[in-house]
């Protein structure tokens, strides 16, 4: 009987441990469970990460945000910086190259718009190719092509060759503009994506600083120095040296891309779960995580679907990707984002190309109480445009370099500010704030009659260009992975198209009806504010 009672006591004690005295404190920490039993703690790797099916967003959060993402932002940021330098560099060399290449006014106009023309006609193609072939693969091809075309343009013997090579630069740089945003955003979780994409826009401002600063340092040297290529003895003008230094930026980007993997979201959208996990493991290790990466199974978000476009012929890919943007569930967002980007590029890039000329002319009347348009009218009427360019005069006016350098520093600060506050304020709210302030500044410029006041409001107006990265961040959230890169390509194509149209329209209106320039630019930006109200999210 004693042994029976003893056995009953043991069973009772076991039940008591299991039901009453066992105090379980479980917490999911890197695949571990911490269990407290009778005051003792043990750690067990139970069916946590290894048994749970994770969404990609959860897996990206688990991989962390560290060294890998800093390196990614650096490479993608330099890629975006290259877009700015390659599309705007002609504005800084035309005056110096005018005599060397016997440039006419028509040649100058074609050179200024050559890269923009290349961007417009190829953006759609690169977006489709990126969604079908991969973000990294397209970036490698595009950056390599842009680097080669840009180097060839440095040695152009005549205007026609320079125009053709710069057009090819535009054809390739179009991919860098759109695909880099998608590539960067798809390595980040929802918590960090907006800030990362917005912060990468700082590099675009760095590009705008780099161009005038380098031009100020290199181009004037042509008056006192001769540059001779080693081994071949070829003498190069200072503007060619400047162009070579600008093109080397894409060489750095190409080197940086070699060490980066394909986008995990793109791989998962193609049904390549194993390859996606391998990429996430690499990100996890780069970020300094010491524990094992225990995620073994992933699933797409609810709104995503595995893409089948790689099984279609090229013509079907073009049709499928294009028509998808105009289906009922996406067409409204397509038109909204295209309108926003077109308005921003029209106001900022369209006016930016004329800003050095505007500032140079109104600077002559800084001590007089004249509005912007009154000063421009007097300046344009006093110019004698019939005199040919004196090529014997090697004096180079550095004022445009200094003026645009100052503006670009302000742009960089604005980009940086956007990156710091975007998560707190929200992408949409920040966009509407900028477009409202910049739109009103454009209208104020119609009546402003003091030089420093004009300068301040002109700078505020041009900071509308900082909204481009905000719109790209909004678009990344609005479109699914299967058409995301193509959507960004189409959006940026609309932006570049209206930048070119805006530049030509503004140049024409400044001569015949100057006030209408600032009315139109202000209306475009305030229109963007109205459209911003309809964008979902904060």
- Residue 23 reports pLDDT greater than 60: no
- Residue 13 reports pLDDT greater than 60: no
Question: Average pLDDT of 39-57?
Answer: 54
How deeply is 259 buried, as exposed, middle or buried, from its count of CB atoms within 10 A (0-12, 13-18, 19+)? exposed
| Spatial separation of the C-alpha atoms in residues 537 and 56, rounded to whole Å | 21
Does CATH place domain 51-301 in 3.40.50.970? no
Q: What is the pLDDT of residue 40?
A: 41
Which residues of the chain does CATH 1.20.1250.20 include? 51-301, 312-385+397-537
Question: Average pLDDT of 169-193?
Answer: 86
Higher pLDDT, 386 or 295: 295
Q: What is the pLDDT of residue 300?
A: 66
What percent of the chain has a predicted confidence (pLDDT) above 70?
80
- Residue 290 reports pLDDT greater than 80: no
Question: Average pLDDT of 65-75?
Answer: 91
Residues 520-536, buried b or exposed e (16+ Cβ, 10 A)?
bbbebbbebbebbeebe
- Residue 418 reports pLDDT greater than 90: no
Q: What is the pLDDT of residue 432?
A: 93
Higher pLDDT, 72 or 129: 72
What CATH number does domain 312-385+397-537 carry, 3.90.960.10, 3.40.50.720, 1.20.1250.20, 3.40.47.10? 1.20.1250.20
Distance of CA 262 to the CA centre of its chain: 18
Q: Which candidate, 397, 389, 77, places its Cα nearest to that of 212?
A: 397
Q: Whole-prediction pTM value?
A: 0.71
**Torsion over CA: 41, 42, 47, 52 (sign):** positive
Alpha-carbon torsion angle 191, 193, 199, 201, nearest 10: -160
pLDDT digits (tens, 9 = 90+) for 360-370: 778 777 778 88
DSSP summary character for residue 218 = H
Question: Average pLDDT of 221-227?
Answer: 68
| Spatial separation of the C-alpha atoms in residues 22 and 32, rounded to whole Å | 18
pLDDT digits (tens, 9 = 90+) for 463-503: 888 888 889 888 888 888 777 777 887 888 888 888 878 87
Higher pLDDT, 151 or 383: 151
| Spatial separation of the C-alpha atoms in residues 112 and 94, rounded to whole Å | 8
Q: What is the pLDDT of residue 397?
A: 64
- Residue 48 reports pLDDT greater than 70: no
Residue 63 to residues 32, 288, 328, Cα–Cα distance (Å): 16, 10, 35
Answer yes or no: are the C-beta atoms of 458 and 355 closer than 8 Å: yes
| Spatial separation of the C-alpha atoms in residues 179 and 131, rounded to whole Å | 9
Question: Average pLDDT of 125-139?
Answer: 84
Residues 304-330, buried b or exposed e (16+ Cβ, 10 A)?
beebebeeeeeeebbebbeebbeeeeb
């Amino acid at each position: 009987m004693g042994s029976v009672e003893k056995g009953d006591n043991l069973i009772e004690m076991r039940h008591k441990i299991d039901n009453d005295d066992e105090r379980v404190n479980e917490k999911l920490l890197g695949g571990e469970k911490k269990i407290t039993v009778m005051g003792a703690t043990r750690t067990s790797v139970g069916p946590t990460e290894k048994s749970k099916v994770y969404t990609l967003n959860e897996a990206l959060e688990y991989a962390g945000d560290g060294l890998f993402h800093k390196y990614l932002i650096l490479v993608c940021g330099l890629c975006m910086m290259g877009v700015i330098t390659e599309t705007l560099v002609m504005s800084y060399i035309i005056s110096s190259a005018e005599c060397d290449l016997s440039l006419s006014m028509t040649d100058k106009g074609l050179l200024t718009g050559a890269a923009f023309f290349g961007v417009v006609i190829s953006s759609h193609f690169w977006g489709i190719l990126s969604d079908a072939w991969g973000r990294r693969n397209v970036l490698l091809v595009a950056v390599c092509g842009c680097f080669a075309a840009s180097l060839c343009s440095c040695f152009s013997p005549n205007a026609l060759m320079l125009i053709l090579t710069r057009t090819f630069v535009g054809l390739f740089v179009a991919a860098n503009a759109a695909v880099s945003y998608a590539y960067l955003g798809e390595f980040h979780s929802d918590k960090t994506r907006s800030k990362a994409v917005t912060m990468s826009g700082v590099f675009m401002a760095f590009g705008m600083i780099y161009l005038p600063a380098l031009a100020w340092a290199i181009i004037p040297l042509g008056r006192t120095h001769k540059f001779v290529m080693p081994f071949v003895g070829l003498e190069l003008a200072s503007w060619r040296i400047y162009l070579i230094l600008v093109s080397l930026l894409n060489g750095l980007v190409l080197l940086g891309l070699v060490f980066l993997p394909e986008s995990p979201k793109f791989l998962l959208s193609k049904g390549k779960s194993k390859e996606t996990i391998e990429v996430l493991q690499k990100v996890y290790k780069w970020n300094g995580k010491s524990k094992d990466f225990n995620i073994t199974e992933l699933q797409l978000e609810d709104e995503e679907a595995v893409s089948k476009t790689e099984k279609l012929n090229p013509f079907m890919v073009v049709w499928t990707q294009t028509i998808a943007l105009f289906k009922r569930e996406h067409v409204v967002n397509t038109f909204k984002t295209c309108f926003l980007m077109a308005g921003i590029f029209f106001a900022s890039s369209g006016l930016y190309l004329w800003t050095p000329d505007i500032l140079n002319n109104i600077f002559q009347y800084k001590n007089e109480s004249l509005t912007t348009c009154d000063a421009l009218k007097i300046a344009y009427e006093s110019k004698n445009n019939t005199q040919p360019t004196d090529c014997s005069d090697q004096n180079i006016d550095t004022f445009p370099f200094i003026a645009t350098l100052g503006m670009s520093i302000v742009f960089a600060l604005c980009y940086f500010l956007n990156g710091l506050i975007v998560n707190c304020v929200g992408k949409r709210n920040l966009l509407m704030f900028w477009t409202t302030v910049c739109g009103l500044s454009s209208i104020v410029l119609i009546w402003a009659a003091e030089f420093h006041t004009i300068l301040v409001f002109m700078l505020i107006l041009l900071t509308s260009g900082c909204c481009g990265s905000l719109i790209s961040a909004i678009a990344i959230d609005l479109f699914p992975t299967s058409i995301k890169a193509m959507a960004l390509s189409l959006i940026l194509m609309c932006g570049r198209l209206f930048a070119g149209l805006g530049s030509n329209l503004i140049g024409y209106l400044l001569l015949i009806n100057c006030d209408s320039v600032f009315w139109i630019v202000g209306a475009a930006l305030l229109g963007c504010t109205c459209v911003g109200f309809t964008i979902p999210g904060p």
